[in-house]
Every structure is written in C-alpha cells, then in structure tokens.
A = this chain, B = another copy of it.
C-alpha cells in the first residue's frame, strides 16, 4: 500500500464534507476520494439492512480504487454498518468511523458527565452511542431529529428553513442541565450557530470534524501511512448529480467542486 494512495470517504450526502474539509485542512498532502450516495440520501431514515448494503457497496468501490484508509463520514452508517465495512476492508486498510473518536473524546473531557445527543433516527435507534458512553460512565440522553439533515441541505437555498427546524426540535428546553451536546450527524455542524442559539449559555458542543480528523491523522501516523507527496488529488463523486448538491458542496468547501456522477456500485 503506497503512502500516497488516497483516503476514501463517504456519506449519504454533503454532511461528510464537514469531515473532509477538516481533514484536508489538517492533512493538506493527503489525496481524497469522496462519495456522496445522493441516490439514497438521506441515510438517517433507512433500515440497518439497507445501510449495510449501501455502505459495503461504496466501501468496495473505494477499495477497488486502491484507497489506503476508509473514513465512514456518516453517523447513520457508522452506527449500523461498521462490522461489515471492516470485514470488507480487512486488516491492512484502517477503517475510521465517526462515533468512536467522539466517544473517546467525551470520556476524556466529560468524565462522569451527562451529555445530550441529537442525531438521525437510524443513529439514535442503533443505541451505539448510549452503549459506548455508558460503558465509560457517561450518561446520555438522545433525541432523534430526523428532518434536520434534509433541512440543512435545503438551508443552502432557504436559510429560514434550517433555522425553523432547529427551533422546533429544541422548543421544549430539552438541552437544559446537560454538560455538553454531541452532534451525532455530520450535517449538523453546518448550522452550529442556530444550534448554539438554542442551548444554555456556555454549554459545550463536541466538534466532531476536528475530533475525527485528528483521529484519522493519529491512525495514519501509527501505521506509517501519512502521505509524503506534494501533488495530492481529490475526487468527489455522487450517485445522483443535482444542482442542489453542487451548491451545498461549494458552500461547505469554500470553492467550486467538480462533482462526477457514478453508477451506483453493485452491492456484494
């Protein structure tokens, strides 16, 4: 495996680009292959069986392209399909999900605390965060906010929409009394200001893009896989090209992105 092989990353849509952006800022020498599975977006309301099928299908595609590591940049897939993706990748290719790094960070910075967590229905119903945090002595109260990811995708065109949805979900003072909030969906950092406005003053919000990109760096360093090259390449693929995805991607990455539509990879 060449150190200059790309990192493979995927999400159902543009949310994972928040992870991609943080990663490329931290590791500008890395090459990246990103797949947004827009044909099946959003993942948050799909069943575990379907999520396993989609995640392994995309992972196989990225492995076939010679990726040296995989980042599952979606909480719904990370909560429901990691065993299958890890089995596919085998021992040589590290697979990083977005749940475990955040859990370890919380265990270190909020020991014995009580967290709030918002995420998609697929993520919340999996119970994975609860189980991992409880095992580390941290209580967590989870709230499914299934419309929020779609509202954020829509928010690039109509800012009042994501604002209204955040307000509706937090309307009953749900966050009061908690030590920190976990944004258990890679879309949510995109409306950080709307979310902060609904939280008690001073409440911490865990910064998943930063935490996860730091973890990816650690894993690559441990394995001796950090890129050495000076001409990294980036490729962004979607399974269904739409203008609204292109607009959202440019907004997140801060520059126009060339998006390539690819045929849906056949599930194994």
Binding site for B on A (CB under 8 A): 39-42, 45-47, 50, 121, 146-147, 150-151, 153-154, 157-158, 160-161, 163-165, 167-169, 171, 240-242, 244
Give the residue of B146, B160, B167, B240 whose beta carbon is less than 8 angstroms from that of A50.
B240
Give the residue of B45, B161, B163 whose beta carbon is less than 8 angstroms from that of A147.
B161
Question: Does A242 contact B39, Cβ atoms closer than 8 Å?
Answer: no
* Identical subunits present: 2
Question: Does B50 contact A46, Cβ atoms closer than 8 Å?
Answer: no
Known: A42-B150, A151-B165. 5 other contacts (CB 8 A): A45-B242, A146-B157, A146-B244, A147-B165, A158-B169
Question: Does A50 contact B45, Cβ atoms closer than 8 Å?
Answer: no
Q: What chain B residues lie within 8 Å of A160 (beta carbons)?
A: 168, 171
CB distance from A122 to the nearest CB of B (A): 9
Q: What chain B residues lie within 8 Å of A146 (beta carbons)?
A: 154, 157, 244
Question: Does B121 contact A244, Cβ atoms closer than 8 Å?
Answer: yes
Question: Does A240 contact B161, Cβ atoms closer than 8 Å?
Answer: no
Tell me, in angstroms, the Cα distance from A147 to B167 when the chains sit together: 15
Q: What chain B residues lie within 8 Å of A171 (beta carbons)?
A: 160
Q: Please, which residue of chain B has its CB at the minimum distance from the CB of A159?
A: B168
Q: What chain B residues lie within 8 Å of A147 (beta carbons)?
A: 147, 150-151, 154, 161, 165
Q: What chain B residues lie within 8 Å of A39 (beta carbons)?
A: 40, 46, 50
Q: Please, which residue of chain B has its CB at the minimum distance from the CB of A161?
A: B168
Q: What chain B residues lie within 8 Å of A167 (beta carbons)?
A: 164
CB distance from A149 to the nearest CB of B (A): 9
Question: Does A244 contact B154, Cβ atoms closer than 8 Å?
Answer: no
User: Most B CB atoms within 10 A — which of A41, A154, A163?
Assistant: A154
Q: What chain B residues lie within 8 Å of A157 (beta carbons)?
A: 146
Question: Does A161 contact B169, Cβ atoms closer than 8 Å?
Answer: yes
